[in-house]
């Protein structure tokens, strides 16, 4: 399977690319900073430079040619302001989904966040509100497309080692945290289970082995 990962130098993305390479799949990490290419290649993935706030859908569609699936793992990240929540967390996600449609790549897994899907709480910090608004809009955009999409909303991300044990279910899942390594394992498993298409799933640490939890969804 050839899997294009948008935001290919992100923390989850690098873990996912390594998992995909280890099981014999070909990952392609889209990065905006050429200096990140070596880290992506070190996982066993290909690195392709593509700034998702500057590229056109046609140009991205060309990069997706021959892929079997797309994972949106980019994000404006901590320290960014409201405009980049919109240009990356919404805009780049919509760009990738549109490019996937143009390229005829049906399988699309999007990393969203718990808290998306409803308006930000009144009185929320302005940047947090922009982030939740952007993720909610990206989800709505993806649901409107003729793609085999799956939306994953992790809880608070940690850099703890993988536990292999998760809680994955349709909303609402009680708030919690989850290691990025477990999120990567869930995404790798979702790519193999097309029966999870058209589902929005919330994800925290839990008791279920990843493979069983993903099989249980479809």
Ligand X SMILES: NC(=O)c1ccc[n+]([C@@H]2O[C@H](COP(=O)([O-])OP(=O)(O)OC[C@H]3O[C@@H](n4cnc5c(N)ncnc54)[C@H](OP(=O)(O)O)[C@@H]3O)[C@@H](O)[C@H]2O)c1
What does the binding site for ligand X look like in residue numbers (CB under 6 A)?
7, 9-13, 30, 32-33, 51-53, 73-77, 88-89, 92, 111, 113, 154, 156-157, 180
State the minimum distance, in angstroms, from the CB of residue 110 to ligand X: 9
Residues forming a β-bridge with 189: none
Q: 73, exposed or middle or buried, with CB in 10 Å at 0-12, 13-18, 19+? A: buried
SS3 call for 66: coil
User: For this structure, is 158 an active site residue?
Assistant: no
Q: Among residues 96, 74, 100, 95, which one has the least CA distance to residue 85?
A: 74
- In the bound state with ligand X, the residue whose beta carbon lies nearer, of 64 and 92, is 92
Distance (Å, rounded) from C-alpha 143 to C-alpha 140? 5
| Residue 106: Cβ within 10 Å count | 17
Q: Which residue is nearest to ligand X (CB)?
A: 10
- In the bound state with ligand X, the residue whose beta carbon lies nearer, of 116 and 214, is 116
State the minimum distance, in angstroms, from the CB of residue 181 to ligand X: 11
- In the bound state with ligand X, the residue whose beta carbon lies nearer, of 48 and 211, is 48
Q: Could you tell me the CA-to-CA distances from 108 to 131, 133, 150 in Å, in that order?
A: 21, 21, 6
Catalytic pick among 18, 89, 103, 131: 131
SS3 call for 166: strand
State the minimum distance, in angstroms, from the CB of residue 143 to ligand X: 17
Residues 169 and 202 sit within 8 Å (Cβ to Cβ): yes
- In the bound state with ligand X, the residue whose beta carbon lies nearer, of 75 and 117, is 75
Residue written as token pair 């099989």? 215
State the minimum distance, in angstroms, from the CB of residue 120 to ligand X: 14
Active-site positions read 131
């Amino acid at each position: 399977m050839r899997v294009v990962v948008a935001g290919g130098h992100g923390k989850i993305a690098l873990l996912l690319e390594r998992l995909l390479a280890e099981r014999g799949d070909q990952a392609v990490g889209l990065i905006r900073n050429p200096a990140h290419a070596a880290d992506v290649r070190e996982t066993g993935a290909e690195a392709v430079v593509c700034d998702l706030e500057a590229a056109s859908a046609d140009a991205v569609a060309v990069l997706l040619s021959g892929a079997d699936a797309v994972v949106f793992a980019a994000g404006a990240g901590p320290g960014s302001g409201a405009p980049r929540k919109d240009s990356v967390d919404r805009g780049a996600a919509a760009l990738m989904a549109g490019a996937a449609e143009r390229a005829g790549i049906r399988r699309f897994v999007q990393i969203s966040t718990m808290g998306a899907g409803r308006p930000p709480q009144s009185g929320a910090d302005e940047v947090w509100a922009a982030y939740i608004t952007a993720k909610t809009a990206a989800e709505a955009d993806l649901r409107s497309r003729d793609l085999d999409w799956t939306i994953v909303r992790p809880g608070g991300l940690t850099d703890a080692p993988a536990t292999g044990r998760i809680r994955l279910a349709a909303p609402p899942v009680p708030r919690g945290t989850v290691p990025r390594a477990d999120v990567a394992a869930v995404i790798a498993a979702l790519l193999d289970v097309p029966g999870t298409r058209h589902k929005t799933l919330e994800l925290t640490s839990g008791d279920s082995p990843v493979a069983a939890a993903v099989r249980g969804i479809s």
